[in-house]
Amino acid sequence: MTDRKYRVLVAKPGLDGHDRGAKVVAAALRDAGFEVIYTGLHQTPEQIVSTAVQEDVDVVALSILSGAHMTLFPKVLDLLEEEGLDDVLVTGGGIIPEDDIEKLEQRGVGKLFGPGTDTSEAVDYIRTWCEEHRGDGAGRE
């Protein structure tokens, strides 16, 4: 067991240039005691997964408003699996139709959050997932 904080990578994949929501969620997670790594705008799935590997994260949270969620979420999942990180939670939010949310969850994506969701809901979800999958001591075991 380690005493490090749970680590969450907040990423903006693709060409979407709107990052206010990602920054708000990143700040809420940081305020709640998580260690947050924010990648900035215009990240490829490969860049996101490379950062996830380098930073040894517990969670990858993607913010997607561009409509490319059905491509980007599965690509990140596939690349994480290739790196042996299929135990990392992939979650996130953005403008995602309900039908697509169901398909992404069936594919292995965690809970997805839409515009207007209270940040405490995302924080609580991620904290609960980490406690259930990483144990009482924060971090990967």
Distance CA 83, CA 53 (A): 8
Distance CA 69, CA 63 (A): 9
Per domain, the residue ranges of the chain are 7-134
Q: What SS3 class is residue 86?
A: coil
Beta bridge partners of 56: none
Say which residues have a Cβ less than 8 Å from residue 50's Cβ, sequence separation at least 6: none
pLDDT single digits (tens) 88-131: 999 999 999 999 999 999 999 999 999 999 999 999 999 999 99
| Of residues 135 and 75, more confidently modeled | 75
pLDDT of residue 103: 98
Domain at 7-134, CATH class: alpha beta
Q: Model-level pTM?
A: 0.93
Cβ atoms of 34 and 18 within 8 Å: the answer is no
Q: What are phi and psi of 95, to 5 degrees?
A: -90, 95
